[in-house]
Structure 1
């Protein structure tokens, strides 16, 4: 499949906010996670990564904030190499990257507010985090983030009292409280029912459009990818096999991403 070169979707030319330069990842057991990935994502985009389970989608996602270290190549965030960053510089880069997980990653026995405030962990010394010594400004920021996902009335509820969809929206509020430029969402709706899925996706799209936060998200559902994304990246066996606007991802393209078969060639 011919890969498409994607310019920024914003009005004015901008530098990429995320850039992969020849990135590869080989796990300790020899399994290939990523193979020579080159990718540029621009400020304000809503980019959906699709592909089979095990194709490398989560590896790509988690390499952005170095939850996975890559084997070769370089990843830059806002022009700064997170691959080479250490100590304070690594912490500063990670502050700008919010993360939403499939399994929510909440402290179930803690209050919703306390969970959301952990989005500020990169701004406090450890001892203040242990004792919950957050500033009034950060508490207000957390409350406003909860209001944005329609959970302002759940501030003092325990996380384990909420439904799965509500817990995922708490994790979105936690990411927002971090004040990020980028939100990574790793299969955030995989365990949710259709109605709740749409609520979570609506929240992410609204945050993207209203706040200008760049969203990079993995999804199993091609229909959701086409409905909510501005751009689709297809991953197969660790390689990027498609990169283009949603409108160009026709049925033949999707089939090739998932099957590896070029349907146009077969029909020729």
Structure 2
């Protein structure tokens, strides 16, 4: 249990102000430990995506610092930034696949950060990494789709390809931004089971934005409530009463 207490993501006084003074995040202080499964909930526009995208510097914060395994990603540049990002997998609502490429080629992009640009551009991946990609597809039940074009798959299958890509990348951290938002309930449940597999079987720290309180309750071990760019709740899911979710979604100002 001692390993669980090792901080892997730390946000210290994080603020994000967009153009025209729109505040995305207000003084966020959070520590997420290695191996946690954290669910972030809140209304659309509450700051969930801004928070997630700040962690791997898809967007730059206005003030504060974000540490990944004790190192500042906020201040990192060049090779250092690439190495920190290599350790962070990202799963998007929109799947983010190259639709005209095969499933295998999409999954192999999880290894791109481990190769010189010219090799990945020419698709010169090692047989070891091709096997790694195939094994990842087996774990999400898509080994029969290896050479299928990504745009021939259903939405749920495309998201599972995205999960296999992250598994192939082998990061310590997975950030998932509304990965079930465009999927039906049964498919959404399957995707959450796959994320749980990455967390429990591979020890990856999962931080996921969700709209569905039911999915959050079923899969999340820790819940963070965001409202108006602020953390208004942070606790163990097992100890979180329904009233807290009501507060996160209905309490306070309605203008965020």
2:200 aligns with 209
RMSD over equivalenced CA pairs, Å:
1.2
- Which one of 97, 118, 121 corresponds to residue 106 of structure 1? 97
Is the counterpart of residue 236 in structure 1 residue 254 in structure 2?
Answer: no
Cα distance in 1, alignment partners of residues 212 and 197 from structure 2: 19
Is the counterpart of residue 72 in structure 1 residue 67 in structure 2?
Answer: no
Cα distance in 2, alignment partners of residues 170 and 107 from structure 1: 11
Q: Which runs of 5+ in 2 are unaligned?
A: none
Aligned-pair distance for 1:123?
Answer: 1.1
2:123 aligns with 132
1:224 aligns with 215
Residue pair 2:4, 2:35 contacting (<8 A) in 1 also: no
- Which one of 147, 171, 174 corresponds to residue 183 of structure 1? 174
Aligned-pair distance for 1:11?
Answer: 4.5
Aligned-pair distance for 1:189?
Answer: 0.2
Cα distance in 1, alignment partners of residues 251 and 57 from structure 2: 29
The count of aligned residue pairs is 253
- Which one of 46, 53, 72 corresponds to residue 62 of structure 1? 53
Is the counterpart of residue 116 in structure 1 residue 107 in structure 2?
Answer: yes
Aligned-pair distance for 1:247?
Answer: 1.7
Q: Which runs of 5+ in 1 are unaligned?
A: 1-9, 262-268
1:250 aligns with 241
- SS of 1:91's partner is helix
- SS of 1:235's partner is strand
Quick one: structure 1 residues 184 and 12, their matched pair in 2 at CA, closer, same or farther if it must change by over 3 Å? Answer: closer
Residue pair 1:236, 1:260 contacting (<8 A) in 2 also: no
- SS of 1:191's partner is coil
1:84 aligns with 75
Cα distance in 2, alignment partners of residues 11 and 76 from structure 1: 20
- SS of 2:74's partner is coil
- SS of 2:58's partner is coil
1:266 aligns with none
Aligned-pair distance for 1:13?
Answer: 6.0
